[in-house]
Homo-oligomer: A and B are copies of this chain.
């Protein structure tokens, strides 16, 4: 991977309000090093960075990375301090889905945006969700993370008035089809006006929430 194969989109922040993130999965160590060198003093969000891939980087780089293993995210360089009130809630169906919802939370943290995280409130135990629903519905954006039949986003979408972003996950086997069942199920949710991102894409859901909060260009 020669250096001129890489053109980081440093103007993205100005244009869209957030930086280019680096999807680390599928990139070689050599490739990741070239990207981090190109970044120089700028901060970068690294997603899907396996612990093995992290360990393979030179220490001079890893010591500049704030890594969280469950979400496999790394902050390269300093990030914004959290500020403002919580306008985004993240609710998660099962504990196996937390790897995805944590990616969303970490993406928000990278931009200094605080959020409420509530886990393990899948509808198989509906009372767990109902206990928290009044708190959840006060948020402008709700990110609902669920695999399998993705019943959680539908139930949430029928109860809260803000923007509901469904994140289908690849949790499950057989007819779960690697998350496609949750994806299609979310797309045809009986709750009106739900929107959907790609399977396991916690990063994308967070970016969408940031877009919804920041609005258009001035």
Q: Which of A1-46 contact B (CB under 8 A)?
A: 1, 4-7, 9, 11-12, 15-18, 20-21, 23, 25-27, 31, 35
Q: Which residues of A contact B (CB under 8 A)?
A: 1, 4-7, 9, 11-12, 15-18, 20-21, 23, 25-27, 31, 35, 70, 87, 92-96, 98, 119-128, 137-141, 148-151, 154-155, 157-165, 170-181, 183-201, 203-204, 206-212, 214-218
**By CB atoms of chain B within 10 A, which of A87, A121, A191, A200 has the most?**
A191
Whether B126 and A155, one on each chain, are in contact in the complex, defined by CB atoms closer than 8 angstroms, is yes
In the complex, which of the residues B6, B21, B190 contacts A148, with contact meaning CB atoms closer than 8 Å? B190
Cα of A7 to Cα of B122 in the assembled complex, Å: 10
- Other A-B pairs, 5, CB within 8 Å; known A15-B161, A138-B217, A174-B198: A7-B121, A16-B158, A148-B185, A162-B214, A194-B208
Whether B188 and A172, one on each chain, are in contact in the complex, defined by CB atoms closer than 8 angstroms, is yes
Cα of A140 to Cα of B215 in the assembled complex, Å: 4
Whether A187 and B161, one on each chain, are in contact in the complex, defined by CB atoms closer than 8 angstroms, is no
CB A6 to nearest CB in B, in angstroms, measures: 5
Give 28 CB contacts A-B under 8 Å.
Answer: A1-B70, A6-B95, A6-B119, A7-B119, A18-B193, A23-B96, A25-B173, A35-B95, A124-B158, A126-B155, A138-B218, A149-B150, A149-B154, A149-B190, A160-B216, A161-B217, A162-B215, A163-B208, A173-B199, A174-B187, A174-B188, A175-B188, A181-B184, A187-B196, A192-B204, A192-B207, A193-B209, A195-B196
Whether A16 and B192, one on each chain, are in contact in the complex, defined by CB atoms closer than 8 angstroms, is yes
**By CB atoms of chain B within 10 A, which of A17, A92, A176, A189 has the most?**
A189
CB A123 to nearest CB in B, in angstroms, measures: 5
Set of chain B residues within 8 Å of A212, measured between Cβ atoms: 141, 162-163, 212
Cα of A195 to Cα of B31 in the assembled complex, Å: 29
A21 and B192 contact, Cβ closer than 8 Å, known pairs A161-B16, A187-B183? yes
